[in-house]
Chain A
Amino acid sequence: MNDDELRREYQHAKKTPPAGPHPDPERLGELVAGTLPESERLELLEHVLRCPTCGPELDLIRAASEGARAAERRMAPSRWMALAAAALILVGIGALTLRGHRTVVPPDVMRGGHIAVGVIEPVSGSTISSPVTLAWHRLDGAQSYNVELLTERGEVIQAWSTTDTTLALPDSLHMGAIRSYDMWVRAMLADRTEVSSPLVRFNVK
């Protein structure tokens, strides 16, 4: 049986909660934080991976941890504190106005109205060939553009600053070595503030 066949059969087998109590949520948090010794990690995972309720709980904690980590990677350390203070005001008001409403943000959809830099190439979700050229709409008042190329986990592969609105990625990046990339552009304005494009996911053949 190849890996896909094994995976299909394994996932088809019904999960039943193992004997004994479910681990406390805090222990699942420690598992994600990597603070447990190996024997405990293995013991805990043996329950979680067999348990139909604990498995999704672990994934929710992972989603929270990775989401925060990815958001943090976006920030230059010097900017983080100022923005974090502003975060308190902005999302606080947002919480007041949005409380009681669902605000689902699908992974590939940005909330409208706040993003001013439009990416032209690549088109989100497209598969393109190397060499890769990025292009975006000029933004009035922009003095330069910071462009980031990231892995799908949010790790910055390389960042550039340019006054142009296109950027040809150098061959040295070996685009296509991994399948999926994210990119986004931040326009740097005269008052030293920034305006961002959405994250654009694309694949390279």
Chain B
Amino acid sequence: MTPPRDSISDELESLVTRFARFAGRIAHDRGLHHEDIDELLQELRVRFWRARKDGLRDLSANYVRRAAVSAALDIIRRRRADRNVSLEETDAGARPLASATAGPAELLDQSELAQRVARAVDGLAPARRTVVRMYLDGYRREEIAALLSWSDAKTRNLLYRGLADLRAVLLAQGIGTPENVQ
């Protein structure tokens, strides 16, 4: 069976592709598997199809966003349930969402320096600690601001202060040089 070809379906296909592209970009930036975004797309398509079957006509942009997020939540619930079953049955565990421990660096023992940096971050004041964690974890500043519902100025300010605190703590342990500490 082939989907009907007309200009609406062409534009719609570009819309779906755009969803895939932007969702895929975040997945790529954050090291998620392509299969996870693929599963998300499939979930979304199935939801649209069900909505059609149920006669839903009032489909808004807001609906699409809610459908996409609820599709992601369903995938997460399923993975968690699978993981629990696998752990009970075989001790092997189902694959989590991303290969959080699969990188080559993870195969090496974490260095003492890495542990000391992590512990120094643990000791920062709460708001600064969160923004520093996100920054060091590879989130972009606008992503941090969006997740924390902060202005860019507030994010920048707390990040700047948090990093300065972190460097001061590390310097007190003999790590780093004074010129990096503001």
A associates with B? yes
Query: B-contacting residues of A (Cβ < 8 Å)?
Result: 1-3, 6-7, 9-15, 22, 25-26, 28-29, 31-34, 38, 41-42, 45-46, 49-50, 52-53, 55-57, 59-72, 74-75, 77, 80-99, 102-108, 110-111, 114-116, 152-154, 184, 186, 189, 191, 193-196, 198-199
B123 interface residue (CB < 8 Å to A):
no
Compute how far the CA of A66 lies from the CA of B64 in the bound complex, rounded to whole angstroms.
11
Give the contacting residue for A111; candidates B1, B6, B17, B23; CB below 8 A.
Answer: B17
Query: Which residues on B sit within 8 Å (CB–CB) of A28?
Result: 73, 76
Compute how far the CA of A69 lies from the CA of B18 in the bound complex, rounded to whole angstroms.
10
Given A10-B117, A96-B1, are A88 and B49 also a contact pair (CB < 8 Å)? yes
Give the contacting residue for A67; candidates B8, B23, B111, B170; CB below 8 A.
Answer: B23
Most buried by B among A46, A82, A83, A94: A94
Considering the complex, which residues of chain B in the window 22-70 have a beta carbon less than 8 Å from any beta carbon of chain A?
Answer: 22-28, 30-32, 34-38, 40-42, 44-46, 48-49, 51-53, 56-57, 59-61, 63-65, 67-70
Count B-side interface residues using an 8 Å CB cutoff: 106
Are B118 and A95 in contact, CB atoms less than 8 angstroms apart? Answer: no
- The residue on A at minimum CB distance from B149 is A34
Compute how far the CA of A80 lies from the CA of B34 in the bound complex, rounded to whole angstroms.
28
Given A71-B18, A88-B52, A193-B6, are A106 and B24 also a contact pair (CB < 8 Å)? yes
Compute how far the CA of A28 lies from the CA of B121 in the bound complex, rounded to whole angstroms.
23
Give the contacting residue for A13; candidates B68, B96, B101, B117; CB below 8 A.
Answer: B117
Query: Which residues on B sit within 8 Å (CB–CB) of A75?
Result: 15, 61
Query: Which residues on A sit within 8 Å (CB–CB) of B137?
Result: 10-11, 49, 55
Query: A-contacting residues of B (Cβ < 8 Å)?
Result: 1-28, 30-32, 34-38, 40-42, 44-46, 48-49, 51-53, 56-57, 59-61, 63-65, 67-73, 75-77, 79-80, 83, 96-98, 100-101, 105-106, 110-111, 113-115, 117-118, 121, 126-127, 129-130, 133-138, 142-143, 146-149, 163, 166-167, 170, 175-176, 180
Compute how far the CA of A191 lies from the CA of B32 in the bound complex, rounded to whole angstroms.
42
Query: Which residues on B sit within 8 Å (CB–CB) of A3?
Result: 135, 163
Are A70 and B10 in contact, CB atoms less than 8 angstroms apart? Answer: no
Contacts A6-B166, A60-B27 given; 8 further ones with Cβ under 8 A?
A: A12-B105, A14-B101, A71-B64, A74-B14, A74-B15, A87-B16, A94-B3, A103-B38
Compute how far the CA of A87 lies from the CA of B21 in the bound complex, rounded to whole angstroms.
17
Given A88-B48, A93-B3, A154-B22, are A25 and B73 also a contact pair (CB < 8 Å)? yes
Are B136 and A71 in contact, CB atoms less than 8 angstroms apart? Answer: no
Compute how far the CA of A41 lies from the CA of B60 in the bound complex, rounded to whole angstroms.
28
- The residue on B at minimum CB distance from A187 is B7
Are A61 and B149 in contact, CB atoms less than 8 angstroms apart? Answer: no
Given A10-B121, A13-B115, A67-B19, are A114 and B9 also a contact pair (CB < 8 Å)? yes
Compute how far the CA of A50 lies from the CA of B31 in the bound complex, rounded to whole angstroms.
16
Compute how far the CA of A2 lies from the CA of B14 in the bound complex, rounded to whole angstroms.
42
Are A114 and B130 in contact, CB atoms less than 8 angstroms apart? Answer: no
Compute how far the CA of A130 lies from the CA of B122 in the bound complex, rounded to whole angstroms.
45
The smallest beta-carbon distance between B32 and chain A, in angstroms, is: 6
Query: Which residues on B sit within 8 Å (CB–CB) of A186?
Result: 11
Are B136 and A111 in contact, CB atoms less than 8 angstroms apart? Answer: no
Give the contacting residue for A64; candidates B49, B69, B127, B166; CB below 8 A.
Answer: B69
Query: Which residues on A sit within 8 Å (CB–CB) of B21?
Result: 67, 70, 105, 107-108, 199
Give the contacting residue for A60; candidates B76, B83, B127; CB below 8 A.
Answer: B76
